[in-house]
């Protein structure tokens, strides 16, 4: 990715009005120290976020670090359990701080997946709650004109009459940003805004954020992409497992205790995110040359989402599918599992034609499917761990009358092997943590007899580190035992640690591939990252 502005360290002067306001108040737009816990899982423990007015502040951290939770509390979407929060110098009562209050205080937020009502038009969404009326009727004209004008001024063109759900994701996001500013947001929080954007759109957005900051709007950018951070951020707060690790500042000014770092050293930020410099994972043993293909896709197309795709996974091989979410990986997985109709092409599993086979038939052929969403697909949440470990496994349950003894014995084995907690096989799966829920899926799928091919979609998403290690071990074990493994993941580091070969998907197509030694050299990560974001393709 190319940075629109080379040195983000220099800040433009604040405009008159904002400068005056900043002078009268403390100069801090957000000053927060927050706790948040859900039953059985602490998300934030004294997470600190201090954002100065008129800056672009990046909030970074790995998946599950608590970034979204933190900004959602600031924006009044979630309620903080304890701590302190000041917005523009004014202390906030956490117990009564809701979205309405936050909005009134000038806090705008654009969430990861949007918060617009899809069947309402852009302008209807923008006026919701404060509808201007003429008599009994809505008066949308002036607002629509204002949105167009504002959008033009800040470089984010919008179509106020368009139905929100019919807009492309980038346009819908622009509309939300413009609407938030129209509603008087002085603080604009963007939660992973670039995940749904094309590289050109990303550059445009980042340039707009700089411009907004120059005009006095404070911007908080939640992201885990460090090139974006380097491109736009004045300051960076790093969050890890619910705690603020450190805050970097580019300008040398700012609150006490900040780490001064004039260049925003990306490597230092990365180290802070991960904790330590992890040793590179041991390279997996190479599969035997000439091993037979256990999964073959020839020209498989799924609607407009997946263009004709060829892919082969050999026995003993671990193949990774990298890519930003929403680039056809989901359809690829569903096509292999038989859960979506294939528009064209052929699929073979274990050498047998499987294009038209029902999901059950594919599983019987030795396919194991770890779906991307364990709560909607992987698990029967209201049944016990033991039942979930045997779900659909006729080899364990028996064809008709359930063999409870075998189900229980199987559960005991898997619970011990994967360290599933709590250890009681009768526990309802809904009560388990995300990591333990995922272990149940892994335990069921990878213990299939005569495993031929493993399809693992986002196998460690939202899972704690201990579980990640065990899940990776099991996937390596399956490959070592002779199965072909296809891992789909948005986490490139996970794939680099696991795979013999990595293909990259972008806009429904495989756009590149790296194998063997090419994955081990230091430039592999950057090269694959460039492919994922389409830098090389455009």
Partner 1 sequence: MTAGKDPGPDPVRSRLPQAFRIPLSGARRELETAVLALLASIAIGSALMLIAGKAPGHVWWTMVTRTTGDPYVLGQVLYKATALALTGLAVSLALEAGLFNIGAEGQVTAGVLGCALAGTALPAGTPAVIAIPVCLIAAAAAGGAIGAAIGGLRVWRGAHEVITSIMFNAIVSGFALYLGNRVIFRGGTTTGAAIVPGAELPQLGFGGSSANASIVLAVLAVAVVWWLRARTTWGQGWLVVGQSPEAARTTGISVGKVQILVMTGSGALAGLAAANFVMGHKHAFEEGLGRGTGLLGISAALLGRMHPVGVVLAALVLGFLSSGGLAVAELVPKELTEMLQGVVVLAVAAAVPWVRRAEAAA
Partner 2 sequence: MTELVATVLSLGFAAQVLRIAVPYALAAMGGAITERSGVIDLALEAKLLFGAFTAAAVGHATGSAVLGIAGGVAAGMIVAAIQVGCALGLGADQVIVGIALNGVALGGTRFLLQLLFGEGANSPPCPAYGGAVLTNPIVWIAAVATAALPYAVRRTRWGVRLRAAGDRPDALVAVGVSPVRARLAAALVGGALAGAGGAQLSLAVGGFTADMSSGRGYIALAMVILSGWRPAWAVVACLVVALAEALGIAFQVSGVPIAHELVALLPYVATLAVLVIAGGNRRSPPRSLGQI
Q: Which residues make up the interface to partner 2 (CB under 8 A)?
A: 77, 98-100, 103, 115-120, 124-125, 127-131, 133, 136-138
Q: Report 50-69 residues binding partner 1 (CB under 8 A).
A: none
Give the interface segment with partner 1, choosing from 7-15, 45-53, 112-120, 465-473 (CB under 8 A).
112-120
Residues near 199 by beta carbon (within 8 Å), at least 6 away in sequence: 1, 533, 534, 535, 538
401 binds partner 1 (CB under 8 A): yes
Classified as helix, coil or strand, 96 is helix
537 C-beta neighbours (distance < 10 Å), count: 15
List the single partner that 377 binds among partner 1, partner 2, none, CB under 5 to 8 Å by kind: partner 1
Q: What is the largest CA-CA distance in the chain?
A: 78
List the single partner that 289 binds among partner 2, partner 1, none, CB under 5 to 8 Å by kind: none
Contact 378, 371 (CB under 8 A): yes
405 binds partner 1 (CB under 8 A): no
Q: CA 139 to CA 184: how far, in whole Å?
A: 19
378 binds partner 1 (CB under 8 A): yes
489 binds partner 1 (CB under 8 A): no
CA torsion 333→339→344→348, rounded to 10°?
Answer: 70
List the single partner that 500 binds among partner 2, partner 1, none, CB under 5 to 8 Å by kind: none
**Residue 185: DSSP 8-state:** -
Pick the closer one to partner 2 by CB: 171 or 503: 171
3-state helix/strand/coil string of 465-482: HHHHHHHHHHHHHHHHCC
Cβ 462 to partner 2 shortest distance, Å = 21
Which of 12, 41, 128, 262 lies at the binding interface for partner 1 (CB under 8 A)?
41
Contact 221, 173 (CB under 8 A): no
Pick the closer one to partner 1 by CB: 89 or 398: 398
* Residue (of 208, 214, 212) closest to 194 by Cα position: 208
Cβ 138 to partner 2 shortest distance, Å = 5
List the single partner that 537 binds among partner 2, partner 1, none, CB under 5 to 8 Å by kind: none
* Residue (of 256, 237, 255) closest to 247 by Cα position: 237
Q: Report 117-176 residues binding partner 1 (CB under 8 A).
A: 118, 164-165, 167, 169, 172-173, 176
Residues near 205 by beta carbon (within 8 Å), at least 6 away in sequence: 156, 173, 193, 194, 197
Q: CA 104 to CA 197: how far, in whole Å?
A: 29
Phi and psi at 57, nearest 5°, equal: -115, 120
Residues near 166 by beta carbon (within 8 Å), at least 6 away in sequence: none
Pairing of strands 484-488, 318-322: parallel
Cβ 111 to partner 2 shortest distance, Å = 9
Number of residues that bind partner 1 (CB under 8 A): 55
Contact 441, 379 (CB under 8 A): yes
518 binds partner 1 (CB under 8 A): no
Pick the closer one to partner 1 by CB: 340 or 518: 340
Pick the closer one to partner 2 by CB: 133 or 517: 133
402 binds partner 1 (CB under 8 A): yes
339 binds partner 1 (CB under 8 A): yes
List the single partner that 77 binds among partner 1, partner 2, none, CB under 5 to 8 Å by kind: partner 2
406 binds partner 1 (CB under 8 A): no
List the single partner that 304 binds among partner 1, partner 2, none, CB under 5 to 8 Å by kind: none
List C-alpha distances in Å: 355 to 278, 281, 451: 42, 36, 19
Pick the closer one to partner 2 by CB: 183 or 198: 183
Query: Would you tell me which residues interact with partner 1 (CB under 8 A)?
Result: 38-39, 41, 111-114, 116, 118, 164-165, 167, 169, 172-173, 176, 196, 325-326, 330, 337, 339, 358-360, 362-364, 369, 371, 373, 375-383, 387, 391-394, 397-402, 428, 430-431, 444
């Amino acid at each position: 990715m190319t940075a629109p502005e080379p040195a983000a360290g220099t800040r433009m002067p604040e405009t008159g009005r904002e400068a005056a306001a900043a002078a009268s108040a403390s100069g801090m737009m957000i000053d927060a120290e927050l706790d948040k816990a859900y039953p059985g899982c602490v998300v934030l423990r004294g997470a600190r976020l201090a954002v100065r007015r008129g800056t672009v502040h990046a909030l970074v951290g790995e998946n599950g670090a608590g970034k979204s939770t933190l900004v959602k509390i600031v924006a009044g979407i979630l309620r903080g359990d304890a701590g302190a929060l000041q917005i523009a110098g004014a202390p906030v009562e956490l117990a009564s701080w809701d979205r309405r209050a936050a909005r009134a205080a000038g806090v705008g937020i654009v969430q990861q997946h949007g918060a617009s009502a899809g069947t309402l038009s852009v302008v209807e969404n923008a006026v919701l709650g404060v509808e201007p009326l003429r008599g009994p009727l809505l008066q949308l004209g002036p607002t629509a004109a204002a949105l167009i004008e504002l959008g033009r001024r800040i470089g984010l063109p919008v179509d106020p009459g368009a139905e929100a759900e019919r807009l492309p994701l980038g346009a819908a996001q622009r509309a939300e940003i413009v609407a938030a500013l129209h509603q008087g947001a002085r603080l604009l929080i963007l939660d992973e805004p670039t995940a749904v954007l094309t590289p050109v759109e990303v550059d445009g957005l980042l340039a707009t954020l700089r411009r907004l900051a120059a005009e006095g709007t404070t911007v908080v950018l939640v992201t885990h992409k460090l090139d974006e951070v380097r491109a736009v951020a004045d300051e960076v707060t790093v969050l890890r497992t619910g705690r603020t690790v450190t805050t970097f500042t580019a300008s040398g000014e700012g609150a006490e205790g900040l780490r001064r770092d004039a260049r925003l050293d990306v490597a230092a930020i990365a180290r802070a995110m991960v904790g330590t410099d992890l040793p590179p994972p041991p390279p997996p043993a190479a599969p035997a040359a000439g091993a037979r293909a256990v999964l073959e896709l020839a020209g498989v197309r799924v609607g407009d989402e997946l263009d004709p795709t060829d892919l082969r996974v050999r026995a003993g091989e671990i193949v990774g599918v990298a890519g930003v979410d929403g680039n056809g990986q989901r359809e690829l997985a569903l096509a292999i599992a038989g859960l979506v109709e294939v528009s064209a092409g052929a699929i073979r599993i274990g050498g047998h034609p499987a294009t038209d086979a029902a999901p059950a038939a594919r599983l019987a052929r030795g396919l194991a499917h770890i779906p991307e969403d364990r709560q909607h697909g992987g698990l029967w949440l209201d049944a016990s761990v033991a039942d979930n470990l045997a779900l659909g496994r006729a080899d364990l349950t028996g064809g008709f009358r359930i063999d409870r003894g075998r189900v229980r014995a199987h559960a005991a084995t898997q619970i011990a092997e994967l360290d599933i907690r709590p250890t009681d096989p009768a526990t309802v799966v809904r009560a388990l943590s995300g990591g333990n829920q995922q272990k149940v899926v892994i335990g069921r799928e990878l213990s299939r007899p005569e495993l031929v091919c493993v399809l693992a979609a986002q196998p460690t998403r939202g899972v704690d580190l201990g579980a990640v290690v065990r899940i990776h071990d099991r996937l390596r074990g399956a490959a070592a035992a002779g199965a072909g493994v296809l891992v789909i993941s948005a986490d490139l580091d996970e794939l680099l640690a696991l795979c013999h070969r990595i293909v990259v998907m972008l806009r429904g197509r495989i756009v590149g591939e790296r194998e063997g030694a090419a994955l081990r050299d230091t430039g592999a990560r950057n090269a694959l990252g460039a492919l994922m974001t389409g830098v090389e393709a455009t």
